[in-house]
Amino acid sequence: MADDWQDGGFAVYIHWPFCAAKCPYCDFNSHVARHIDQQRWLRAYLSEIDRHAALVPGRVLTSIFFGGGTPSLMDPDVVAAVIARIRHHWPVANDLEVTLEANPGSVEAGRFRAYAAGGINRVSIGVQALNDRDLARLGRIHSVTEARAAFDIARHTFERVSFDLIYARQDQTPEAWRAELTEALAMAVDHLSLYQLTIEDGTAFGDRYKSGKLRGLPPEDAATEMFHVTQSVCDAAGMPAYEVSNHARDGAQSRHNRVYWRYGDYVGIGPGAHGRLTLAGQRHATETARAPGDWLTRAEIGSGDVLCDQLTPSEAASEFLLMGLRLTEGIDPRRFARIRGEGLNPDTVSYLTEIGMIDATPDRIRTTAQGRLVLNAVIARLLDA
Amino acid sequence: MTPLSHIRNFSIVAHIDHGKSTLADRLIQSTGTVEARDMKEQLLDSMDIERERGITIKANTVRIDYKALNGENYVLNLIDTPGHVDFAYEVSRSMRAVEGSLLVVDSTQGVEAQTLANVYQAIDAGHDIVPVLNKIDLPAADCDRVAAQIEDVIGIDASDALRVSAKTGIGIAETLEAIVHRLPAPRGTRDAPLQAMLVDSWYDPYLGVVVLVRIMDGVLRKNDRVKFMSNGTVHQVDRIGVFRPQMEPVEDLGPGEIGFITAQIKQVRDTRVGDTITSEKKGTEIALPGFKPSQPVVFCGLFPVDSSEFEDLRDAIDKLALNDASFSFEMESSAALGFGFRCGFLGLLHLEVIRDRIEREYNIDLITTAPSVVYHLHMKDGEVREMHNPADMPDVTYIDHVEEPRIKATILVPDDYLGDILKLCQDRRGIQLDLSYAGNRAMVVYDLPLNEVVFDFYDRLKSVTKGYASFDYNLTGYAEDNLVKMQILVNAEPVDALSMMVHRDRAEARGRSMCEKLKDLIPRHMFQIPIQAAIGGKVIARETISALRKDVTAKCYGGDATRKRKLLDKQKAGKKKMRQFGKVEIPQEAFISALKMDG
């Protein structure tokens, strides 16, 4: 029988952990460093790629993704060499997607052509907001004008362009968000990631929030309304949600992220990167050293991994479910049963159907619009947590 | 066998925390009854719950050998009685087994309600009473005031009250002498037919049922065949002995003596407190007065949270019942809660003790339904039915009227809090019977419906008076009132575990308070949940739990799978115990918390 991961595909993720400045809301593994020896980093990436190629050889690759941090601070040569090495090891799909996360600053935009030449065919731009006051509050170092300019260059340089916006920002009303989103959709974009601002522990916003200094966050009702506004405005513009926070024109969905949500296998390279690898028929979770220097040293010695755990059937099934239900397309419950060795509790399924949270057929379970709004509760219920 | 003149049988009467157990410990210790190395605090309270709560649930006894200052050797038998109102009958029997009492009053506190209830029992039993002012080592001790109060409130002479600190040992020697010289020796005739009182009994896994007896007349020997007069059963005595406080065999027990027997008795149920034991042949014809079988007063349902634990619960209840004849139970099934037991208790403390023991000793999580009293339903056809579960309430059109049990409650409280107490009693449909003062303490007596007291009256009393009030009660009888059954509907489905009998005039307030509480206790669900209180088909109060608005993680990519999964596992482990009612999950604690009243 084919391994389960094949239902999700195979991808490689490269983590670049450095930023020019740390944003106050960001809880990703990112660091600000004065001097970075890019050639040393490249050697470490290549050696990790080689190691993984030996571990899971011969798979058809769906996607490569450079995330961060701010990977648009990477030298285009480094990016090109990494892509080349990956293509050298694995056969690639005809429609291989190669994405780079980019900041919309003018410096980055100047490098777009070089990235494209090195093999990048899609960028995801961290625009975040379309007014300068809010960009400043979010700690972003670019302006709206720069962002629009960067987007225009990207539009003409890459096959596909996505950008991110954050909503439910301080002092933002549903009306203001509707106007901003409409403006964003007027740009020739084919993919949007629209995130509700989440206050995470261990961030500057998190600290300010705890001490009561983060004022003007919209109340729950307003934030919920902004979610609804997002759905209706994007639907009307032909960019429906295909995942909780991701919207795309048909065919422009992020193939890379779909590997995660469809619970495929993915190689995670770089500090703090996670992977899921099916080895000898068993799904494993890999994790690398989080601190950049630590990872670098480990990778040079032989492996950046600090963990490679075999997941139990029930752990793997939980992950499949919690990732898969984020997608509008939902999950195949038979696949869940195959992974766990036991299907979902039919009583819970009919209960959630009855209260309008999911639509269930024997071969598909999807959340309704209402269910997606309380997805955490739906998932907890299905997994009896 | 000790001559009657050299036996003294006594009990210690005290309010909780006034130092009864400490005094008992000290008497045992100072006479060398227990080696110093075997001494532990509150020697006579053997159950964890007794030690923790500072209460005595089962009667205990100890035989103390004491050489008095006059050079004579005396046998002192102390019976430690349960001090709580729930066990008033057991107390009354223990009192009948002895001739005198030490009345222990905390000299920093004064007379409390339980002191009164128990001392009246002692007076009723014809005891000679020696007042003991305890805790005189404390700076707040005020012996003169407390002695005057004893005379005022109880009406016994306290001029020669002993001044003691059980903690430090002051006055212990004088107490032992007072027991010998101020308490009477028992009476009884050796040659008369055997007449012994069954004071208490308990189940011992190795010995079977152990019976605590007081010999009134005659002699009880090993291998005697004895008859329990209330049920006519005959047993052969296979062990006979006394407690020091551990069991010690003796040849026989004569008049005035207190000891134990075992006789291959399997169930505590077969040994009823207050029963008369006599010889099978040529026994006495005269049973001791005052015997009555115990009657449960408070009922509630006990259900396992996890329905698969029903058999474990049955097992636990069977085992507890082995040792507690006053606790009754029968299987019950509830639409909402599945299978469980309807249990009857002597009172609320008794209920709590049994519930705690099941949860602790047998490790079963329980849902306790609303406690109920026994109502008398006078049907239109003249029949009178007893109802102890609101779920059994017949169609109201067949009922002529309903009667409920009432109590006489005695409350002692510093007068600063008197207003709060009067309000509390008034709110609970009380009728004031008496109000008097002793110093700056008020004594109020109320006629109250038991159903207003059964739940959290005592807690409320404690909290409005910052713990300074004391309370005791006795059942007085039944009276008619306008009582209705109130149901609670969660998401339009009645939750039978929350239905209760209430007075019509108080139903709305009660219903509103229940709905408000449940609104806070039931977590938000994925949909809106109406909570209603209803009488018959009529909704009298309503609250709504709004639906969860938004609960979704904005970002979740490859690196988040592990974190999200672990979060779910953690959630699963820390999840509150819930019970499914229709589409709604109700946390276990909601059943108790929802019933608590604020006023």
In this predicted model, which residue has the larger pLDDT, A88 or B323? Answer: A88
Residue B139 carries which DSSP code? T
**Chain A neighbors of B546, CB-CB under 8 A:** none
| Cβ atoms of residues B55 and B44 within 8 Å | no
- B569 and chain A: CB distance < 8 Å anywhere? yes
Indicate yes or no: CB of A354 within 8 angstroms of CB of B583: yes
Which H helix or E strand runs over A203? none
Nearest residue in A to B575, CA atom: A385
| Cβ atoms of residues A268 and A14 within 8 Å | no
Residue among A14, A66, A374 with most chain B CBs within 10 A, to mutate:
A374
The residues in A 143-202 lying below 8 A from B, measured between CB atoms, are: 195-196, 198
| Cβ atoms of residues A93 and A56 within 8 Å | no
- Whether B399 shows a pLDDT value over 90: the answer reads yes
Tell me how far apart the alpha carbons of residues A296 and B457 are, in angstroms, rounded to a whole number: 68
> Smallest CA–CA separation between B304 and chain A, in Å?
19
Indicate yes or no: CB of B572 within 8 angstroms of CB of A221: no
> Distance of alpha carbon B305 from its chain centroid, rounded?
25
Residue A31 carries which DSSP code? B
> Smallest CA–CA separation between A194 and chain B, in Å?
9
For A334, list phi and psi in degrees, rounded to 5: -70, -35
Query: In this structure, are strands B73-80 and B247-249 parallel, antiparallel, or unpaired?
Result: unpaired
- Mean predicted lDDT score pLDDT of chain B: 87
Q: How far apart are the first and last CA of chain A?
A: 31
Closest residue to A195, CB basis, from B554, B559, B583? B554
How many beta carbons lie within 10 A of that of residue A237, not counting itself?
A: 17
Q: Per-residue confidence at A190, pLDDT binned at 50, 70, 90?
A: very high
| Cβ atoms of residues A306 and A335 within 8 Å | no
Indicate yes or no: CB of B556 within 8 angstroms of CB of A326: yes
Tell me how far apart the alpha carbons of residues B60 and B28 are, in angstroms, rounded to a whole number: 13
Query: In this structure, are strands B100-106 and B7-14 parallel, antiparallel, or unpaired?
Result: parallel
If 0-12 CB within 10 Å is exposed, 13-18 middle and 19+ buried, where does residue B11 land? Answer: buried
Residues A284, A290, A296: CA angle, nearest 5 degrees: 100
Nearest residue in B to A227, CA atom: B550
- Whether A153 shows a pLDDT value over 90: the answer reads yes
Mean pLDDT of A215-232: 92
Residue A309 is encoded by which pair of tokens? 């755990």
Nearest residue in A to B523, CA atom: A377
The residues in A 10-29 lying below 8 A from B, measured between CB atoms, are: 13
The whole-number pLDDT of residue B80 equals 81
Residues B140, B119, B408: CA angle, nearest 5 degrees: 105
Amino acid at position B16, single letter: I
Nearest residue in B to A327, CA atom: B556
Judged by average pLDDT, the poorest of A198-202, A373-377, B145-149, B430-434 is: A198-202
pTM above 0.80, yes or no: no
Mean pLDDT of A299-316: 93
> Which domains does chain A carry?
4-259 (3.20.20.70), 313-385 (1.10.10.920)
Indicate yes or no: CB of A195 within 8 angstroms of CB of B572: no
Residue B527 carries which DSSP code? S
pLDDT in tens, A242-295: 999 999 999 999 999 999 999 999 999 999 999 999 999 999 999 999 999 999
ipTM of the complex in this document: 0.91
Q: Where are the beta strands (DSSP E) in A72-202?
A: 92-102, 122-128, 160-167, 191-196
- Whether B180 shows a pLDDT value over 90: the answer reads yes
**Chain B neighbors of A351, CB-CB under 8 A:** 583
**Chain B neighbors of A377, CB-CB under 8 A:** 525-526, 548, 551
Which residues touch B45 (CB under 8 Å, ≥6 apart)? B21, B51, B55, B56, B60, B80
Which H helix or E strand runs over A313? helix A313-324
| Cβ atoms of residues B532 and B542 within 8 Å | yes
Tell me how far apart the alpha carbons of residues A22 and A320 are, in angstroms, rounded to a whole number: 32
Q: Per-residue confidence at B597, pLDDT binned at 50, 70, 90?
A: low
- Packing angle between helix B457-464 and helix B418-427, nearest 10 degrees? 160
Q: Identify the CA nearest to A28 among candidates A195, A216, A146.
A: A195
The answer for A168, left when phi > 0, alpha when psi is -120 to 50, beta otherwise, is left
Mean pLDDT of B146-152: 91
- B555 and chain A: CB distance < 8 Å anywhere? yes
Indicate yes or no: CB of A377 within 8 angstroms of CB of B548: yes
* Integer CA distances (angstroms), B126 to A10, B176, B232, B390, in order: 92, 21, 29, 42
Q: Identify the CA nearest to A102 among candidates A86, A117, A119, A115.
A: A115
> Smallest CA–CA separation between A385 and chain B, in Å?
4
| Cβ atoms of residues B439 and B416 within 8 Å | no
**Chain A neighbors of B525, CB-CB under 8 A:** 377
Indicate yes or no: CB of B550 within 8 angstroms of CB of A273: no
**Chain B neighbors of A376, CB-CB under 8 A:** 551-553
How many beta carbons lie within 10 A of that of residue B529, not counting itself?
A: 23
- Whether B47 shows a pLDDT value over 70: the answer reads no
Indicate yes or no: CB of B554 within 8 angstroms of CB of A244: yes
Half-sphere exposure of B167 (CA within 13 A, CB side): 10
* Integer CA distances (angstroms), B125 to B98, B140, B188, in order: 9, 33, 16
Q: Identify the CA nearest to B328 among candidates B304, B358, B290, B300.
A: B300
- B139 and chain A: CB distance < 8 Å anywhere? no
Q: Identify the CA nearest to A153 among candidates A179, A184, A119, A187.
A: A187
Tell me how far apart the alpha carbons of residues B450 and B299 are, in angstroms, rounded to a whole number: 12
Q: Per-residue confidence at B204, pLDDT binned at 50, 70, 90?
A: confident
For B102, list phi and psi in degrees, rounded to 5: -95, 125
- A380 and chain B: CB distance < 8 Å anywhere? yes
The whole-number pLDDT of residue B591 equals 76
Residues A300, A306, A308: CA angle, nearest 5 degrees: 120
pLDDT in tens, B427-438: 899 999 999 887
**Chain B neighbors of A382, CB-CB under 8 A:** none
Query: In this structure, are strands A305-310 and B399-414 parallel, antiparallel, or unpaired?
Result: unpaired
Nearest residue in A to B560, CA atom: A274
**Chain B neighbors of A326, CB-CB under 8 A:** 556
| Cβ atoms of residues A241 and A233 within 8 Å | no
Tell me how far apart the alpha carbons of residues A140 and B575 are, in angstroms, rounded to a whole number: 40
Tell me how far apart the alpha carbons of residues B64 and A152 are, in angstroms, rounded to a whole number: 101
Tell me how far apart the alpha carbons of residues B295 and B274 are, in angstroms, rounded to a whole number: 14
Indicate yes or no: CB of A224 within 8 angstroms of CB of B550: yes
The whole-number pLDDT of residue B185 equals 96
The whole-number pLDDT of residue B83 equals 61
The whole-number pLDDT of residue B599 equals 38
Query: In this structure, are strands A265-269 and A10-16 parallel, antiparallel, or unpaired?
Result: parallel
- A307 and chain B: CB distance < 8 Å anywhere? no
> Distance of alpha carbon A47 from its chain centroid, rounded?
24
- A369 and chain B: CB distance < 8 Å anywhere? no
How many beta carbons lie within 10 A of that of residue B143, not counting itself?
A: 16
Write out the DSSP string of A78-111: HHHHHHHHHHHHS-EEEEEEEEEEE---HHHHHH
What is the three-class DSSP state of B458? helix
Percentage, residues of chain B above pLDDT 70: 93
| Cβ atoms of residues B277 and B231 within 8 Å | no
Q: Per-residue confidence at B43, pLDDT binned at 50, 70, 90?
A: low
- Whether B343 shows a pLDDT value over 80: the answer reads yes
Q: Please report where in the chains the tokens 């409920």 appear, as a residue.
A: B404
Residue B18 carries which DSSP code? S
